[in-house]
Amino acid sequence: MKNHISSAIRLTFALLVILSVLYPLFVAAVSRLAPGGGDGVTIMARGGTASRRIVGYANVGQTFTEDRYFNGRPSAVGYNAAGSGGSNKGPSNTEYLNDVKARIDTFLVHNPAVKKADIPAELVTASGSGLDPHLSPAGASVQIARIARVRNIPAARLQQLVDEQTKGPLLGLFGPSTVNILTLNVALDALK
């Protein structure tokens, strides 16, 4: 009996050291190799003076509601990283369908040149995480006419900007092409 108790105590102490000290130190060390050094990749923009300031993080979206900016994907959690999650409402849920219809109507009011059938689904449906900062290139391009009109910038220049900000699939194979709306709007503000 004594052998079993002392073995159990030694094993508990060894696992306590391994799992509470060594493993977290290992994970912290590996995270330093990731982009942003484990602190997340920040997006910088010019402030009122020549100084640069943090305007957000590369993997967390933001709400843009002004007509002069590209709108991102809706969020069920208001882009709150502490409460990440989707709405958990299915496509047959009446409340969800009303939300999507309201988003479509709002989009059409702000983008009168766009037909309802031409609105990409990601502009009216929230992502599973509620944090997604990305749209497809089509989701960004469908908004160009509105922004060109409001900012008095040629639509061809805005399309070029969208193309410059488009990232291809991972390794050219995995996933779709995406545009980070925060970095796109920062680049839009930087246009002269």
Give pLDDT tens digits along the chain (192 positions).
Answer: 777 888 899 999 999 999 999 999 999 888 888 877 777 777 777 765 566 777 677 777 788 888 899 998 888 877 777 777 777 788 888 988 998 999 999 999 999 989 999 999 989 988 878 788 889 999 999 999 999 999 999 999 999 999 999 998 888 888 889 999 988 998 898 886
What is the reported pLDDT for 22? 93
**Tokens representing residue 109 in the block:** 């009011």
Spell out the residues 6+ positions from residue 90 whose beta carbon is closer than 8 angstroms to its own.
Answer: 96
Indicate the residue type of 22: L
From 108, 126, 109, select the one nearest 117 (Cα to Cα). Answer: 108
Specify the 3-state DSSP secondary structure of 168.
coil
What is the reported pLDDT for 179? 92
DSSP string, 76-126: TTTT-GGG-------TT-HHHHHHHHHHHHHHHHH-TTS-GGGS-GGGTS-
What is the reported pLDDT for 164? 92
Alpha helices in the chain (DSSP H): 2-17, 23-31, 94-110, 137-141, 144-151, 155-165, 181-190
Backbone torsion region of residue 179, taken as left when φ is above 0, otherwise alpha when ψ lies between -120 and 50, otherwise beta:
beta
